[in-house]
Amino acid sequence: MRGVAAVPSYVVMQPTTLCNLDCAYCYLPLRAADRRMPVPVAEAVAASVNPWASAGRFSVVWHGGEPLAAGREHLAALMAPFAPEVEHHVQTNATLIDDAWCDFFQEHGVRVSVSVDGPRERNDDRVTRAGRPAYDRIMRGVSVLRRRGLPFSALAVVSRPRAGLAAELYDYFLDLGCDVLGINIEETEGVNTRGNAHDQADVTAFWAELVAAWRREPRIHLREIEWSLRYAAAVLDGVADDLLPRQLDPIPTIGHDGSVTVLSPELAGFTDPRYGDFSSGNVLESPLAEILAGAERTPWVGEFLAGVEACRDTCPYFGFCGGGHAANRYFELGRFDGTETEHCRNSKIRLLEGVLEHARDHQ
Ligand code: SF4
């Protein structure tokens, strides 16, 4: 794996910067402001995306802020320029979901992913703008999805990973009825400056317990565990070197104003005296395909690629991880060419060690 691919497998779109919640760990700098994406931005993105989608599977992920806060009419206008074969996804806090939104999801073939951190007592960080718990509102939205029989994924943030928590979480999501689950250990990034250093034995124990819970009843696609098991199987088959993609997926995030930030959505909206605004261009000025073809020339991207090579040279986990995420390096280390971060310890190194610990305990 070397360099950044010119064609992504999906794009992230920010229909509005606004979020109706104010979660304590949120990284978004502009979530209190309603800056909406104009339709010409979506038209410009679609001009590059539609040919990619006709050549193979392609997704647009509507992410915010809270994407549903843009309203159905505006979101429909933003989706309209995309070809029918483009798959649409929303990452939502679910608080606005009602029957009218479910009609919208069905009509536009939108796949829904809900952010919820587990049972009520695990959602203390998820609050409304008035600081009140958001859990009941999230559950109201989820219950409408369930009543309407719409499949959904779930994404949970875990702030303090430790033994005793993972099995409870997994059982909760089994009952919730999601078919895919992603677990994010809270990250120090964007405007979230809370620390993410943990006792590493606790983190390993968390992941090991999650594998055990999943193996007991593997009814949900559990993103992190399935990745790790695929890697472990490839190591045993002697094909681990083939697992990483040939080049990094640029994962362009299109900001509300048309700016394009590659590799890490979390960098969008920030500026730095050394790196400027992190964007590689604006779709209102140049075609997205052209911006991505030149993305490696963005100064911070070159520095990040040097960091990936440093990881390749020094880290035994590189074949699994591929060199980590740009935003974690920047927000933890202040630059892009470092290697280990708390994030990669929590979410890559201890994850793999947790899977191996589980395997050793069940030989
Ligand atoms: S685990 Fe950390 S140090 Fe190792 S390759 Fe990934 S980012 Fe680099």
Q: Tell which atom from ligand 1 comes closest to the C-alpha of 340.
A: 3
Closest ligand 1 atom, residue 349 Cα: 1
Compute, in degrees rounded to 10, the torsion defined by CA atoms 229, 232, 238, 241.
Answer: 80
- Best mutation site among 1, 321, 331, 341 for ligand 1, i.e. most ligand atoms within 8 A of its Cβ? 321
Testing ligand 1's pocket by substitution, the residue of 243, 339, 352 carrying the most ligand atoms inside 8 A of its CB is: 339
Q: In the structure, what pLDDT confidence band is assigned to residue 136 with cuts at 50, 70 and 90?
A: very high
Distance 181 CA to ligand 1 centre (A): 23
Alpha-carbon distances, residue 279 vs 91, 246, 247, 286, 303 (angstroms): 22, 24, 20, 13, 14
111 φ, ψ (degrees, to nearest 5)? -95, 130
Q: Which residues line ligand 1 (CB under 6 A)?
A: 311, 315, 317-318, 321, 323-324, 339-340, 344, 348-349
180 beta partners = 153, 221
Residue nearest to atom 7 of ligand 1 (CA): 324
- Show the DSSP H helices in the chain as ranges: 39-55, 72-79, 99-108, 135-147, 166-176, 200-216, 223-236, 288-293, 299-314, 318-321, 326-333, 342-344, 350-361
pTM for the predicted model, two decimal places:
0.93
Sign, CA torsion 355/356/362/363: positive
235 has a pLDDT exceeding 90: no
313-343: pLDDT as tens digits: 999 999 999 987 999 999 999 999 999 999 9
The CA-atom distances, in angstroms, between 317 and each of 233, 310, 312, 339, 344 are 15, 12, 9, 11, 10
Q: What's the confidence (pLDDT) of residue 1?
A: 72
Question: Which of 180, 125, 127 lies closest to 157, judged by CA?
Answer: 125
- State the pLDDT at residue 159: 94
Q: Pull the structure tokens for residue 346.
A: 């929590």
The single residue listed with the structure tokens 């875990």 is: 158
CA of 240 to the centre of ligand 1 (A): 16
Average the pLDDT over 68-92 and give the result: 98
Centre of ligand 1 from the C-alpha of residue 347, in Å: 10
Q: How confident is the model at residue 234 (pLDDT cuts 50, 70, 90)?
A: confident
Confidence check: pLDDT of 353 > 90: yes
H-helix or E-strand spanning residue 260: strand 259-261
pLDDT in tens, 247-287: 899 999 999 999 999 999 999 889 999 999 999 999 999 99
Confidence of residue 24 (pLDDT cuts 50, 70, 90): confident
The CA-atom distances, in angstroms, between 334 and each of 27, 92, 165, 190, 326 are: 16, 30, 32, 12, 11
Q: Residue 294 — very low, low, confident or very high, per pLDDT cuts 50/70/90?
A: very high
Q: Which of 79, 157, 65, 161 is nearest to 118 (CA)?
A: 157
Question: Which band of pLDDT confidence, cut at 50, 70 and 90, is reported for residue 29?
Answer: confident
Between CA 159 and CA 170 the distance in angstroms is 16
User: Does the pLDDT of residue 56 top 80, yes or no?
Assistant: yes
Q: What is the pLDDT of residue 178?
A: 98
Residue 359 pLDDT > 90, yes or no? no
The candidate with the shortest Cα–Cα distance to 267, out of 292, 290, 250, 248, is: 250
For the CA of 321, the nearest atom of ligand 1: 6
pLDDT score at 246: 80
